[in-house]
Amino acid sequence: MSWLGTKHVMKQWRRKQIMEGLKEMIPDIERIKKSENVLDRPKGIWTSGRIDNWFYKGLIAFEYEIEHYGEFPLSEAGEKDSMMKEMKVKIMYVDGIHKEIHHWLTQRGWYPQWFDRSTLFFWPYNIKGCGK
């Protein structure tokens, strides 16, 4: 059982559902494949992170190095939206993933994991009794 416990997860989604959900949230995402097509490890999802700079709600969806911006306001990291001008980068991202996407994944029993600066995988938590 994962640290999430089953009460924090609605119902673990299958890989196909997560892939379709990511495509719906990030319509420009083009590079998304089953993990076994890229790495010798099944059941996951692969995408590229920083190469393509896909956006979610006007912000970069995945960026390995964004955590380095830390306390900088988003405006200094390139965000132009006046509503977000004073928001700090570290408030909007968890491990280089836009916090809403990160939350969406964990609610569905999945987590992101960086392989390197430009390669991002999504894996299902091992939750007993949840979807396969």
Domains of the chain by residue range: 6-62+98-124
In the predicted structure, residue 3 carries a pLDDT above the cut 60: no
Please report the pLDDT score of residue 54 as a whole number.
85
Q: What is the pLDDT of residues 17-42, one digit of tens each?
A: 999 999 999 998 988 999 999 888 99
Q: Is the dihedral of CA 78, 84, 85, 91 positive or negative?
A: negative
Answering whether pTM is above 0.85, one says no
Q: What is the pLDDT of residues 90-127, one digit of tens each?
A: 678 888 899 999 999 999 999 999 998 889 999 999 85
Please report the pLDDT score of residue 52 as a whole number.
65
> How many other CB atoms are there within 10 angstroms of residue 53's CB atom?
12
Average pLDDT, the chain: 80
CB 109 within 8 A of CB 12: yes
Smallest CA-to-CA distance from 41 within 102, 107, 106, 124 is with: 124
Please provide the DSSP assignment of 2-26 as one string.
-TT-GGG-S-PPPHHHHHHHHHHHS
